[in-house]
Amino acid sequence: MDKILPSPEHLWKQLDNLLEVPRHARQWLKFVGTTLHYGLLDPYNPLSAGPNAALPGWSCRVLGILGIRVSATGLEHVHHHRSQVFFVNHQSNIDVLILGATVPVPIFWLYKHTLDKMPVIGRALRRQGNVAIIRHDRPRAMRSIDQAAQMVRDGRNLLVFPEGTRSGRPQMGPFKKGVFHLALAAGAPIVPVSIAHSWRIMPRGSLKLHPTDVQVRFHPAIDTTQYDTGTLPELMERVRAVLAAGLQQDGDPQDEN
């Protein structure tokens, strides 16, 4: 069978995408330098306030470098004296930094295990007490979920993305059940958090950076003790409806599934 050669238009698009790296070289270099500083040096700072202390500073610095302006509403819904699980829609790879700059309490998060292979970042994630999850290996994924649930019961605040992966668009993808089982096992309230417009920062398949105004909205907490495994679908639908309403309100339409 003859090979189908890519069209000139496709080749030009790929080349133009690669050229975005030198076009944004200054921003990328600043990003790498900041990441090296907070990933390698800050954990050894004797004045550090704890393993998660670097996240807010790193987040704010990177957002400034990338030209991302974040506004947050509903911060009164965040608990400061008990643990909670933040359920957040996931549009962009930058979402964790957006939350690191806006969530007013220390957090840890479930992250895809492939990040462990990234220099500096993987090591920093482990050092800060975050939990890796291997989604394709159910027994190991369940162990990660059990570990995270115990950490929440011990008083820590957890951040999860119920979609499991970034959508790269305004609309949310399907939700995974595992993190909802985690919230039930932890016995902690769910605080839904909607992030609007972060998909514009660096669209899927592109290396171009777009300065963006992002809206973060914290919603009233949902009491998980009212639910069990039998009513889990109702809890999932409730969280999804809250997030969808927040995204609609902030200009990211949810007319697709």
pLDDT per position as a tens digit, 136-174: 778 888 899 999 999 999 999 999 999 988 999 999 999
Q: Examine the pLDDT at 101 and tell me if it is beyond 70.
A: yes
Report residue 161: phi and psi, to 5°: -110, 105
Question: What top-level class would CATH report for the domain 8-249?
Answer: alpha beta
Tokens coding 249: 């309100």
Percent of the chain surpassing pLDDT 90? 52
pLDDT per position as a tens digit, 221-255: 999 999 999 999 999 999 999 999 999 999 999 87
Confidence of residue 61 (pLDDT cuts 50, 70, 90): confident
Sequence spans of domains, the chain: 8-249
What's the mean per-residue pLDDT of the chain? Answer: 84
Average pLDDT of 96-116? 88
Give residue 245's pLDDT: 97
pLDDT per position as a tens digit, 9-58: 666 566 565 556 666 667 767 777 777 666 555 555 544 445 556 778 88
How does strand 190-196 pair with strand 85-88?
Answer: parallel
More confident residue, 197 or 131: 197
CA atoms within a 13 Å half-sphere pointing along the CA-CB vector of 106? 15
Q: How many residues does the chain have?
A: 257
More confident residue, 256 or 237: 237
More confident residue, 205 or 12: 205
Sign of CA dihedral 144, 115, 209, 66: positive
**Whole-number CA gyration radius for the chain:** 19
Give residue 46's pLDDT: 45
Q: Examine the pLDDT at 76 and tell me if it is beyond 90.
A: yes
